[in-house]
Structure 1
Amino acid sequence: MSSPTPSPARSSRTTIVAIVVALLIGALVALAGSQGGATIAGIPLFALAVAAAFAIQVIAFIPAAILRTERFFDLTGSLTFIAISVALVLLSPRTDALSWILAAMVVVWAVRLGTFLARRVHRAGSDGRFDEIKSSPLRFLQTWVIQGAWVSLTAAAAWIAIGADARDRAPFGWVSVVGVIVWAVGLAIEVVADAQKSRFRADPAHKDEFIRTGLWSRSRHPNYFGEIVVWVGVFVTAAPALVGWQWVAVISPLFVILLLTRVSGIPLLEARAEKKWGDRADYVAYRDSTPVLIPRLTAPRARATAK
């Protein structure tokens, strides 16, 4: 027997609760991460950054709702990372090498992501995730507010360190150097994995097939592994600048890990793949012999290719 369809009133309440929770989480992180940070007119820079992240999404939502389009949703998220990271460095009363490097790390990652997503939207024309949502203003608003939380939590480590008081902290040291190296490795893995998948999908011979070559022969989700490594690297780079409550910045890599492994990343794609290819022997062999996330170091053994 099918489950009953939620009533419009209940659906609206759930949506409102989700919006309030996202705003509350952003406010709490802003409060904790602002402790001991630099201020402008008495307002902590990090708190301003979080508020701006949400405000940008709500402002962008207005024309998107009027036009009922999601075409600039992902681009808005990427531009928010870039704009606020640059603004924080420029507005901070005291900046150092660490601040500039952290801002550059976020900007480079966001430019790469924004370009990749913009190309994908251009090719696809629309995003099926929004087909039902964008016809409901409240539910559509929810996705934009949640994106504000995503931006704020993901960038928290970099933004807290940039907005921290730089007067008494140690100069850029070996821990931060290690962090930059980790970030670079993660970004390289993510870029290569995305490029390999894009080339695979562009080949008409691979229509309705799953990728199992290159990095995808060593992990079923190497792009997500690279994404996680990127934000671990950002956190390690920022760590020497953190004091007291500013250590809430650890939420950055933890949030990315949780999001990709338990919420909207791997679980959704694994379910979709299981539904599409779960009855094929070659997919079952690939699934059972390939790690979900962390790539194997050894070369994969030959697998069955029969459909």
Structure 2
Amino acid sequence: VLAGVSYVTELQVYALIALGLQCFVFLAHGLPQMSEKLYDVSGSLTHLALILASLLQSTNRNPRQIVCSILGIIWLTRLGSFLFQRILRDGRDTRMEDMKTSGIRFFVPWVIQALRVFLTDLPIVILNTIEDSEELSFLDFFGWSLWTIGFIFEVVADAQKFIFRNDPRNHDKFITSGLWRYSQHPNYLGEILMWSAICVSATAGFRKPSHLLGWLSPVFTYYILIHVSGIPMLKAKADKKWKGNPEYERYIAHTPLIIPGQRT
């Protein structure tokens, strides 16, 4: 997938940067220590490398490229620092435990992260590597407004859960307050909204049909969060802890998975 998409979009250099950085951190720290402590940090730094490298190579940077790049950097800085604080607090990432039985198996999530970073950043990298002379339009301002809503959703949801989990009175409880009252995963809704919003703005500057592959960003983000490493892992962990609890069963049955107001 990484090779194919990068070939069609002519962004092989950026695919190699993503894969190279992940391999470097894995070989320098992950494998020798059998540790995932730098996993999320390396992901954030790879995001930063792709966005900055693509922006700095542009000889005629315009407001659309600059704003979309800044929004991507704000997202990665906020999420990266949050995830790093979390692993420092917890000491480990439970998602990785089954992967650390062998070096080869442990290497898989690092390769997947390279793919995820590349596909997530794709609309920004495409936009930054083309000569975009289009004036700002309604799509830009609509996209940036939508991004702000998504950012607020993710920040508020993560903050509410962080405060809830750090209250001793909530030991062995699950959160159903704040945004979590209306969605089982409001933080994921925020992330999907943000990358959809960046695509809306970036599309105004796309020049070729292949540039529309930038929309793989929100599609891939949705797929990963809903079907792979997000909800399925969290659901399995929650079911193991609270399955059979009437309050938990009621919450799962009546609270929309992602979109507030959506039928369960």
TM-score bin (small chain) = over 0.9
**1:23-172 to 2 correspondences below 5 Å:** 25-34=1-10, 46-63=11-28, 64-166=30-132, 169-172=133-136
Q: Quick one: distance in 1 between partners of 2:254 and 2:150?
A: 23
**Residue 239 (str. 1) matches residue 203 (str. 2):** yes
TM-score under structure 2 length normalisation: 0.94
Contact 1:65 1:134 in 2 (8 A): no
What does residue 259 of structure 1 align with? 224
Deviations 1:75-125 (A, max 9, x none): 000111112211211112232111111110110000001110011011011
**Residue 173 (str. 1) matches residue 137 (str. 2):** yes
Q: Quick one: distance in 2 between partners of 1:202 and 1:26?
A: 39
What does residue 276 of structure 1 align with? 241
Identical residues among aligned pairs (%): 35
**Residue 197 (str. 1) matches residue 173 (str. 2):** no
What is the CA distance between 1:27 and its match in structure 2?
A: 1.3
Larger Cα Rg: Structure 1 or Structure 2? Answer: 1
Cα RMSD after superposing both structures: 1.4
Structure 2 spans left out of the alignment, 5+ residues: none
Q: Quick one: distance in 2 between partners of 1:91 and 1:70?
A: 32
Q: Quick one: distance in 1 between partners of 2:22 and 2:237?
A: 29
Q: Quick one: distance in 1 between partners of 2:153 and 2:47?
A: 21
Q: Quick one: distance in 2 between partners of 1:262 and 1:140?
A: 20
What is the CA distance between 1:135 and its match in structure 2?
A: 4.5
Contact 2:54 2:128 in 1 (8 A): yes
Secondary structure of 2:14's partner?
helix
AA aligned to 1:170 is E
Q: Quick one: distance in 1 between partners of 2:110 and 2:236?
A: 25
What is the CA distance between 1:145 and its match in structure 2?
A: 0.9
Q: Quick one: distance in 2 between partners of 1:271 and 1:131?
A: 14
What is the CA distance between 1:287 and its match in structure 2?
A: 1.6
Structure 1 residue ranges, 4+ long, deviating more than 4 angstroms after superposition: none
From 296, 304, 307, the equivalent of 2:261 is 296
Secondary structure of 2:204's partner?
helix
Secondary structure of 1:224's partner?
helix
Q: Quick one: distance in 2 between partners of 1:100 and 1:119?
A: 28
Greater shift after overlay, 188-197 or 277-286?
277-286
AA aligned to 1:158 is I
What is the CA distance between 1:263 and its match in structure 2?
A: 1.6
Secondary structure of 2:257's partner?
coil
What is the CA distance between 1:274 and its match in structure 2?
A: 2.4
Q: Quick one: distance in 2 between partners of 1:89 and 1:249?
A: 16
Q: Quick one: distance in 1 between partners of 2:12 and 2:144?
A: 25
What does residue 248 of structure 1 align with? 213
TM-score under structure 1 length normalisation: 0.81
Structure 1 spans left out of the alignment, 5+ residues: 1-24, 35-45, 298-307
